[in-house]
Structure 1
Amino acid sequence: MSEGSPGPTPGFLVWRLANKWRVAVDRALAPLGLTHAQYSLLASLYGMQRTGERPSQRRLADHTGMEALYVSKLARALESAGLIERTRDSRDTRAVRLALTGQGQSVARKAVAVVQELLQQLLEPLGGLDAQRTRAFTDELTALLDAPLAPNDDSTEGRTP
């Protein structure tokens, strides 16, 4: 909060809400052995794979809004857990392609269901996941995420479930 402010700033509230939701997702996913960050990667990969895409780590980093180095670290951990496969791209040896294993697909489906149920609970003050207020809130967040960080910055952060 800034000095002399009548209340918390929007930035402070967004930061607090993001932390609250991350902790809630971490707790909900703990029985599946996943963190919120791992879930974001796994669920994004699950969605992309369902549309026929086998993304590179770079593409997944762009999609999630995470740093490429962090995605690489998470991907190695998920590979060690048997949830994803990492393979070199035959056309670009610098690129690493990612795909869910059978076990990864199963865990991703369960995790998505857990998070959907959690989101319903967390969004209940707005009327739930499918409520008009939630759609308006989502539109506002999307507008903020789509705005460039600087006047000459065309990049935007990716969105995760």
Structure 2
Amino acid sequence: MSKGTEGATPGFLVWRLSMKWRVAVDRAVAPLGLTHAQYSLVASLYGMQRAGERPSQRRLADHTGLEPLYVSKLARALETAGLLERTRDPRDPRAVQLALTEEGRDVTRRAIDVVQGLLRQLLDPLGGLGSARTEAFMRDLTTLLDAPLDPLDPFREHETEQS
């Protein structure tokens, strides 16, 4: 364990790992004109389009875990950069559908390659992408992501104990 993490809580370690990843991805995709958040959006959109989906901003927000308002802001910036198109959904005029442009697909493919290289570096200490340790790590991360978090719950539990 590194000196900076001795005695650290699990929450602190999650924070540090997420910040390490975010900074690394930000630096890696900056030469392509993207931020980490923009990369998350275009990479997710790329995968959804390959699966035949033309998602709404709301659907993409749900998929990425980003706030819908933030997805809207990112989508507008990516549209201005010529990387994606925003169009009204013919079935629901309130909804905006997103699609990568040809340039957006090209930039996204290059960004995915760069980020995959970072992912290989990150997972190398666990034996690499296909290792049993990495698969177990991914199961654990999925379990934690699926666990509900209600910021009011700890307070309610504390109030109940005092009653």
Q: TM-score per shorter chain, which class? A: 0.7 to 0.9
Name the CA distance, whole Å, in 2 between partners of 1:90 and 1:68.
20
* 1:99 aligned residue: 99
Question: Where does residue 25 of structure 1 map in the other structure?
Answer: 25
Shift, 1:13, TM fit:
0.3
Q: Distance in 2 between matches of 1:55 and 1:96?
A: 8
Residue 50 (structure 1) aligned with residue 86 (structure 2): no
TM-score by length of 2: 0.87
Which amino acid is 2:70 matched to? Y
Q: Compute the displacement of 1:125 (Å).
A: 1.1
- 1:100-115 mapped onto 2 (5 Å cutoff): 100-115=100-115
Structure 1 spans left out of the alignment, 5+ residues: 1-5, 151-161
1:122 maps onto 2:99 in alignment:
no
Comparing 32-41 with 119-128, which one deviates more in the overlay?
119-128
In the TM superposition, residue 92 of structure 1 has moved relative to its aligned partner by: 1.0
What whole-Å deviation, never above 9, does each CA across 1:39-95 have from its counterpart, x for those lacking one?
000000000000100000000000000000000000001000100000011121110
| Structure 2 unaligned blocks of 5 or more | 1-5, 151-163
Number of residue pairs matched by the alignment: 146
Runs of 4+ aligned residues of structure 1 deviating over 2 Å after TM superposition are none
Residue type of the alignment partner of 2:74? L
Q: Calculate percent identity across the aligned residue pairs.
A: 77
Q: Which secondary structure does the structure 2 equivalent of 1:149 belong to?
A: coil
TM-score for both structures, normalised by structure 1: 0.88
Alpha-carbon shift at residue 112 of structure 1 (Å): 0.6
For residues 144 and 133 of structure 1, the distance between their equivalents in structure 2, rounded to whole angstroms, comes to 16
Q: Decide which structure has the larger Cα Rg and report it.
A: 2
* Structure with greater proportional helix content: 2
Secondary structure of residue in 2 paired with 1:88: strand
The AA in structure 2 aligned to 1:69 is L
Query: What CA deviation, in whole Å up to 9, does each residue of 1:103-128 have, x standing for no partner?
Result: 01111111111100110011111112
Q: Secondary structure of 1:123's partner?
A: helix
